[in-house]
Structure 1
Amino acid sequence: DPIVLDWLQFAARWLHVITAIAWIGSSFYFIALDLGLRKSDDLPEGAYGEEWQVHGGGFYHIQKYLVAPERLPDHLTWFKWESYWTWLSGFILLCLTYYMSAEIYLIDTNKIDIPVWAGIAISIASLVIGWFAYDLVCKSKFGDDNTRLMFTLYVVLVALAWGFTQIFTGRAAFLHIGAITATWMSANVFLVIIPNQKFVVADLKAGKTPDAKYGQIAKQRSTHNNYLTLPVIFFMLRTACVRHLSTRQGQLMPARTAKRRSIFLPVRACRRGQDARAVRRGVPLAIRRES
């Protein structure tokens, strides 16, 4: 049912937006917090720095430990669910929009004529393989230099963008660059940052001294996430803008003729029962009147 599908897409899109705001906000907050840390003579042993903040009528005193404090508090707040729900809701939206209407929104038959299942398989494989390739490079000696690593990743993304434009529609190709980058970010949280922090917590509970490398690796991936945030926002917002001006949501098409004036009408394009090429190009309609 197209109406049910529209409501599911609406719910997934808003869940995606809300959780992404929470995730991006917390990411920017901690980068700003790190930059604002100050050292003082009365810091506890092992503390790297502290910061006093005022917000909402209250005062906050925050201290950072590069490894961990000698004793853990009874309650720890984990910043992970924002990332998980952002990626899950984004993938659900990808399935509802691009996979369920792959013949219109995903595959460009003017470029290559492949079955729907092949286009979807390429899409999913790019997310999975993209993560493993990124992770392996980060774990290698090559990944020790963040500047060199970021430049290499930029070249990889450009190559992927070219490859996607040979198969997918322009909008789908653009979205997949954002989806691959967002997958790196969320997988960093799920497979690297949180597990490393759990290793530290487990060592502290067992009375062991945690290895500082876990915190260093987590910090590197967290920094990657921060720098990848703005490109991902650009990719997703740009794709959303194109989508809302596209055929399914309504497209404004002018009919220009000599000595005539065109009135633009939003054209609601039917997802089914129309040729995919015509839908992708848009259906020009206008009410003309004599000037």
Structure 2
Amino acid sequence: MADYLLESLGLLLRWLHIVAAIAWIGESFYFVMLDRSLKPAADGDAAIAGEQWSVHGGGFYRKQKLVGAPAQMPADLHWSKWKAYTTWLSGFALLSLLYLSSPQMYLVDPGVNALGSDQAVLAAIALMVLAWLGYDLLCRLCGFREGLLGALVALWVIGLCLACTGLFAGRAAYLLVGAALGTIMAANVFFVIIPGQRRMVAALGRGEAVDPVPGLRGKQRSVHNTYFTLPVVFAMLSVHYATAYAHPHNAWVLILFMAAAALIRQFFVVWHSGKRAWGLLGVGSAILLATFAWLAPTRNATSAVTPNSAVAAPMHATELPAADTAEIQKIMKLHCTACHSAQPSLMASAPKDLRLDEAQQIERHAALIRRQVVDLRIMPPGNITSLSEAERLQIARWADTLAVDPAFK
């Protein structure tokens, strides 16, 4: 029952996190679009910095941006904050429920680092805090020198990618990079954007002149957030794409995907200004295609694993031990059925409903088992059950033989 309740809580948190993120990102994208597409006021009103007419849902809308502050503050003023806070809080709760509560399974990879469980949890939390502090320091030191700041922030993100993939298991590393950038985005809202707006509103309420600097800082951080958005979304989704996070150069795979995402986001930002920077879209797309080509699996005739494996251990086919399905079933029972069975002991239900406690199921999923266990080496997670190299090689030989001769059992 406890496993069922935890799994159900995880589903609810995922749902909340995704819904809140959609709302936050959607609102952020909308305001970037609006700000970039404003045109001079049709009536020539000098108090209007720009306006946009649009039609949606059977109605016409006229949005206007003021040059300064309104002469009288409206009683009902919309604040864009709770979507950001809800996204971060639900995301951290989900991270804690899944990854931080089971570090030996998700965070630690003996082939990557020698962190203990407690050390891995502390390092994951410290990473998110330090990601924000380092980024915020760069912004304060550089001020409004946008070119320099942009270059330094890009280097900071590259450093986060390298640090995470050097400290944590690949899947957790990608997720934690996304969490670190998400923390920066939410902290921008909480510590910079909203406080700056509150100071502006308070000054207006006192009848004082508004200091423009908080507004400029808020807009700067808001612009940064829009460029972080697509890289963060990729980092979160990539936990379902083992080919990327299991690659021996997974840090640079992540960096390339994030660079492509930022370029594609810039294409749309420029589009909203009425320009068509097709070069940005072309370069971003080229980076994506080149990265996918780099990730494409290869397997030579004498190797038990792909060259992309993080711990490739070439072995000639004649050196591989023979194995039949009955032997593989024993390996599955020892190392895999705690999760992948009709009644798993480590969780409420088998992930993806993949059950490896029956010979027929094992044979049906032979290619998947080989790829996950031998080629990508992501199963068992963190090698928590200590699957040996000899056992991996048995699985490789069995799966390859079964693929060539389906009658082989």
Q: Same fold (TM over 0.5)?
A: yes
CA contact (8 A) 1:37 1:51 kept: yes
* Pair 1:24 & 2:141 matched: no
Pairing partner for 1:275 from 384, 389, 406? 384
- Displacement of 1:133: 1.2
CA contact (8 A) 2:107 2:172 kept: yes
Alignment of 1:20-169 (within 5 A): 20-40=21-41, 42=43, 44=45, 46-140=47-141, 142-169=142-169
Q: What is the SS of the residue equivalent to 1:290?
A: coil
The TM-score with structure 2 as length reference comes to: 0.61
Q: 1:215 to 1:11 in 2, by over 3 A?
A: same
CA distance in 2, matches of 1:193, 1:217: 7
Q: Deviations over 1:16-63 (max 9, x none)?
A: 111100011011101110122111263555331111221111122211
Cα distance, 1:88–1:242 mapped onto 2, change above 3 Å? farther
Larger CA Rg, structure 1 vs 2: 2
Against the structure 1 CA distance between its residues 236 and 277, is the aligned structure 2 distance closer, same or farther, given a 3 Å change threshold?
farther
Shift of 1:170: 0.3
Distance 1:196 1:71, change over 3 A: same
What does 1:205-244 correspond to in 2, within 5 Å?
205-242=205-242
SS in 2 for 1:133: helix
1:43, 1:49 within 8 Å by CA — same for their partners in 2? no
CA distance in 1 between partners of 2:116 and 2:209 (Å): 55
What number of residue pairs does the alignment pair up? Answer: 278
Q: Deviations over 1:167-201 (max 9, x none)?
A: 21000111111111111111101111011111111
Decide whether the 8 Å contact of 1:39 with 1:49 is kept in 2. Answer: yes
- The answer to whether the Cα contact below 8 Å between 2:174 and 2:235 also exists between their aligned partners in 1 is yes
Residues 96, 184 of structure 1: alpha-carbon distance in 2 compared, 3 angstrom cutoff: same
Tell me how far apart the structure 1 counterparts of residues 176 and 384 of structure 2 sit (CA, whole Å): 24
1:196 aligns with 2:204: no
Distance verdict in 2 for CA 1:124–1:143, change over 3 Å: same
Alignment root-mean-square deviation, CA:
3.2
User: In structure 2, how many angstroms separate the alpha carbons of the residues matched to 1:70 and 1:277?
Assistant: 69
1: CA distance between counterparts of 2:190 and 2:41?
Answer: 34
Counterpart secondary structure, 1:209: coil
Q: Which residue of 1 aligns with 2:364?
A: 263
Conserved? CA contact 1:182–1:232, under 8 Å: yes
| Residues 46 and 68, structure 1, Cα contact 8 Å, conserved in 2 | no
Tell me, yes or no, if the aligned pair for 1:47 and 1:69 is still in contact at 8 Å.
no
What letter corresponds to residue 90 of structure 1 in structure 2?
G
Aligned counterparts of 2:129 and 2:227: Cα–Cα separation in 1: 21
Distance 1:11 1:127 in 2: 23
Corresponding position of 1:256: none
Cα 1:155–1:252 shift into 2, 3 Å: farther
- % identical equivalent positions: 39
The answer as to whether partners of 2:13 and 2:93 remain within 8 angstroms in 1 is yes
Indicate how the Cα distance of structure 1 residues 81 and 74 shifts in structure 2: closer, same or farther if over 3 A, else same: same
Report the AA paired with residue 120 of structure 2.
G
With over 3 angstroms needed to count, the CA separation of the structure-2 counterparts of 1:166 and 1:276, relative to structure 1, is farther
Query: Distance between the aligned counterparts of 1:14 and 1:94, measured in 2?
Result: 14
Q: By percentage of residues, which structure has more strand?
A: 1
Question: In the alignment, is the contact (CA less than 8 A) between 1:165 and 1:173 conserved in 2?
Answer: yes
Question: C-alpha separation between the residues in 2 aligned to 1:151 and 1:251?
Answer: 45
- Say whether the 8 Å CA contact 1:46–1:69 is kept in structure 2: no
Q: Taking structure 1 as reference, are residues 13 and 59 closer, same or farther at Cα in structure 2, changes over 3 Å only?
A: same
Once residues 42 and 208 of structure 1 are traced to their aligned partners in structure 2, the CA distance between those partners, rounded to angstroms, is 29
CA distance in 2, matches of 1:2, 1:154: 41
> How has the CA–CA distance of structure 1 residues 147 and 184 changed in structure 2, closer, same or farther, with 3 Å as cutoff?
same
Structure 1 gap ranges (5+): 254-261
What's the CA shift for 1:92? 0.6
**Poorly superposed stretches of 4+, deviation over 3 Å:** 41-46, 240-243, 250-253, 274-279, 281-286
Which sections of structure 2, spanning at least 5 residues, go unmatched?
Answer: 247-335, 340-350, 356-362, 370-378
- In structure 1, C-alpha distance between the alignment counterparts of 2:160 and 2:41, rounded to whole Å: 48
Return the letter of the residue paired with 2:18: V
In 2, are the aligned partners of 1:12 and 1:90 still within 8 Å (CA)?
Answer: yes
Query: What one-letter code is carried by the residue in structure 2 that aligns with 1:15?
Result: L
> Shift in Å at residue 232 of structure 1?
0.7
- Which has the larger displacement, 68-77 or 43-52? 43-52
